[in-house]
Structure 1
């Protein structure tokens, strides 16, 4: 899910009956009725909230049109709201807008829904070490298909679009033994495009002004209905085909959901919930990994010293120019590459935050009282730039994740209710970038306002010698950065 999904998180959320022992600070220039509209950046809401956290502190309030939201960014405060004995997962309004697509899947299920606990129990074996190793061949095979395609094309490549298609394919092939089509086939992406449009529609819906949507966005709503029906139909067909497959040779996540029962209750997942889980995997694991790859490539293009270290690590393990034979156990040994990915996720987490709700009346930081079912937004975009990371917390510095450095700062940034597909996202991101430095690319970065996302274009060289791709990336990005703020463009949608 792209970061902009949190842009409207305050709509229709309130904190009824809250009696705070001390009101959290709020931005200046608050107005009656409309609240903090003068200090809210509606184009980059989460970036603005992260900036305000530095001024207002680790816990503060934003109010828009009468709807308050408490934002949490401080390390100690996050540790408190991650305490499962006092706080629990909350499906905030931003996630509720995905309910028509993913229903009671892990990402959007309410705590009270039976399938929430049932699906957790059924899907747990899908994320053991042995299961992750089983997915590895599908991941590397799909990555090789993409890099082979990039090495032979002479046209400019829209990197986020390509990596979105890549990650959808990885999840489909590894999890459900299904392919939406060859990565080289420009006509094979109707399902992927429908899913991306659905996410965009959820991001931009104006639920706080329903009349506006009915009057001015009829065409968007009609497209949404068509995309929703298409996505459901495609996944339903996948499930039905597997049910009627008498050979069942796959033994993947889909088989697990079809054949396994909750060990406590003995109940199985119903077909609609299986569809919701598949769509949840695709939502939670595709664009997240795709954007991580794009951001990491951008940072490596601007830091040739770090890119050289990654290249040296890969060359030491795979010195020949052929596509590397990456084994599952090799991935964990790529320490430099892992630090690059971890640092990319620190600066630009795949989701800028998550919601937590009080299980019972409680307090936060010993100052703010919350009633049962009151909620907060943990803003990871601010938490990951907390002073606990050091004076250069805004800078890309993978050494933050060297064992000694990380142990020293030990900031809190874990979401205990993160859906299981996030585990697979890290594996696919690391594997995807492993072969990349063996290719020869020139890139440029441009902003595509029609998609509200990064549009990073890359053009492969006719040759593919064993040189670092990023040496050429650096030259082009530096030249273009004189004319436009490349990094600002990359981060516009957050």
Structure 2
């Protein structure tokens, strides 16, 4: 994955050094946020050179729209995603474009995200949220928002993907699968971070040896589950059931068991980290925006009525339009999957004059694209859900908002994530008043996705207000 760009030069931050390049200005604990700071004044496209690896970043909405043209560009795997392949293999997120399992899995799983499928998942989402609220109601004091949102979304995706309950709200200690999965993921992330350093192969082998038992446990648990479902009289219509029993409608092909394991891992990781981050950022911004919080609670009171314990019906979720705008705006400011890679299908000249050849790749840096003042205005750093009102969205530059990626490799579970997030956020706002710690300043952890850390809220039972006049 060496990114040569035929020796073309791009703007870069000051302070480049021989051998290490731009490494000294990077923050290894927060590489994305340090890259955002260093991008200031460098224009719509710039580079960071770390040892002999060139990272090219796109920060303007106009140039991002060029790269979103599917006739000219396709998904590129960054070194971080290449490292993640050892965990998730040819999953939907980590497969190369020419790997046949990606297209096969994508076609097989489309029915799992239709409106009828969402209707089947709706009660499962409600049940997981109910467990979370029962835990909160029985536990006084502030709650760790990000940790609890992560437990919630992990339970939701595990139950809908392969009917597995990890007991996140009933066990004293987490199910052993969860720390093993996290450890295996972190090992892949460390290897991706080290990939451009001299001696990275030796360090990667050491990381592999230390984490082999975690990877083996994760693989064994899922392989045993798949084998048991194949051997039994399985009529479950969860994601695993679809992959086990559905042939491709045109070719008749089926996924093998190893790739089914990779797809489950992909859904587990991507399906819970992104949604929990979106909910956490939305709650952070709402807790510091009294007017937005009041408007959101007025909407949920109008749609859900006076009973704070009522559960939204499937048909009510699309009516929560302001709640959806809150989530859209939270994902604009802090897209939980903060970048995606693009590579040309054939030699292509960008509007900047740079020539891109197959094998060259650029990372679209979404937190900066989503703050481009040419699209979002001079107040692009401010939280304003009404940016997504239809009247204000009409005429906006296409591809200026891409929290779920772009093109044929964009997130297949987008509707699942949004339905769950709107449902959960609406219930929380209906049941509780939010009291933040006034001394808290937003801190963001960079793992596979972005997530607030140290963010706590004190939740007090709320009496929904009367429905406002139309």
Normalised to the residue count of structure 1, the TM-score between the two structures is: 0.84
**Is 1:265 equivalent to 2:257 in the alignment?**
no
Q: Which residue of 2 aligns with 1:466?
A: 463
CA deviations over 1:404-442 (Å, ceiling 9, x no partner):
112243352332222313442222211111110212554
SS of residue matched to 2:367: helix
Q: Which residue of 2 aligns with 1:14?
A: 2
SS of residue matched to 1:355: strand
Supply the distance in 2 between the matched residues of 1:90 and 1:406 (Cα, whole angstroms).
29
Structure 1 residue 233, shift from structure 2 partner: 1.8
Structure 1 residue 245, shift from structure 2 partner: 2.4
Structure 1 residue 190, shift from structure 2 partner: 2.4
Residue 70 to residue 165, structure 1, CA distance change in 2 (3 Å): same
Q: Which residue of 1 aligns with 2:221?
A: 234
Residue 93 to residue 182, structure 1, CA distance change in 2 (3 Å): closer
Q: Which residue of 1 aligns with 2:356?
A: 370
**Is 1:430 equivalent to 2:417 in the alignment?**
no
Structure 1 residue 467, shift from structure 2 partner: 5.8
Q: Which residue of 2 aligns with 1:419?
A: 411
**Is 1:36 equivalent to 2:29 in the alignment?**
no
Q: Which residue among 37, 56, 76 is the counterpart of 1:90?
A: 76
Supply the distance in 2 between the matched residues of 1:373 and 1:450 (Cα, whole angstroms).
27
Q: Which residue among 390, 410, 425 is the counterpart of 2:377?
A: 390
**Is 1:403 equivalent to 2:390 in the alignment?**
yes
Equivalent pairs counted in the alignment come to 450
Structure 1 residue 396, shift from structure 2 partner: 0.9
Contact kept? 2:87, 2:188, Cα under 8 Å: no
What are the ranges of 5 or more consecutive residues in structure 2 without an aligned counterpart? 466-470
Supply the distance in 1 between the matched residues of 2:377 and 2:428 (Cα, whole angstroms).
31
Contact kept? 2:51, 2:196, Cα under 8 Å: no
Supply the distance in 1 between the matched residues of 2:116 and 2:34 (Cα, whole angstroms).
42
1:180-195 → structure 2 map (5 Å cutoff): 180-195=166-181
Deviates most, 220-229 or 129-138:
220-229
1:341-356 → structure 2 map (5 Å cutoff): 341-356=327-342
Residue 459 to residue 198, structure 1, CA distance change in 2 (3 Å): farther
SS of residue matched to 1:88: strand
CA deviations over 1:243-297 (Å, ceiling 9, x no partner):
1221x34212111111112233221000010110010001111111111111111
Q: Which residue of 2 aligns with 1:476?
A: none
Contact kept? 1:49, 1:382, Cα under 8 Å: no
**Is 1:360 equivalent to 2:346 in the alignment?**
yes
Q: Which residue of 2 aligns with 1:491?
A: none
SS of residue matched to 1:34: coil
Contact kept? 2:340, 2:364, Cα under 8 Å: yes
Supply the distance in 2 between the matched residues of 1:366 and 1:291 (Cα, whole angstroms).
34
**Is 1:319 equivalent to 2:305 in the alignment?**
yes
**Is 1:455 equivalent to 2:454 in the alignment?**
yes
What are the ranges of 5 or more consecutive residues in structure 1 without an aligned counterpart? 1-12, 469-494
Structure 1 residue 298, shift from structure 2 partner: 0.8
Contact kept? 2:30, 2:446, Cα under 8 Å: no
Residue 16 to residue 410, structure 1, CA distance change in 2 (3 Å): closer
Supply the distance in 1 between the matched residues of 2:367 and 2:84 (Cα, whole angstroms).
21
Q: Which residue of 1 aligns with 2:468?
A: none
Normalised to the residue count of structure 2, the TM-score between the two structures is: 0.88
Structure 1 residue 403, shift from structure 2 partner: 1.1
Residue 207 to residue 151, structure 1, CA distance change in 2 (3 Å): same
CA deviations over 1:450-472 (Å, ceiling 9, x no partner):
999613234445xx34269xxxx
Supply the distance in 1 between the matched residues of 2:211 and 2:221 (Cα, whole angstroms).
15
Contact kept? 1:29, 1:36, Cα under 8 Å: yes
Contact kept? 1:285, 1:422, Cα under 8 Å: no
Q: Which residue of 2 aligns with 1:300?
A: 286
Structure 1 residue 26, shift from structure 2 partner: 2.0
Supply the distance in 2 between the matched residues of 1:448 and 1:61 (Cα, whole angstroms).
23
Contact kept? 1:353, 1:377, Cα under 8 Å: yes
Deviates most, 235-244 or 378-387:
235-244
CA deviations over 1:69-123 (Å, ceiling 9, x no partner):
2111212211111111111111211111211211111001111211011111111
Q: Which residue of 2 aligns with 1:150?
A: 136
Residue 222 to residue 155, structure 1, CA distance change in 2 (3 Å): farther
1:71-220 → structure 2 map (5 Å cutoff): 71-154=57-140, 156-205=142-191, 206-209=194-197, 211=199
Q: Which residue of 2 aligns with 1:482?
A: none
Supply the distance in 1 between the matched residues of 2:384 and 2:284 (Cα, whole angstroms).
14
SS of residue matched to 2:341: strand
Supply the distance in 1 between the matched residues of 2:84 and 2:239 (Cα, whole angstroms).
22
CA deviations over 1:150-206 (Å, ceiling 9, x no partner):
111125432222211111110111222221125232224322232233333333333
Q: Which residue of 2 aligns with 1:492?
A: none
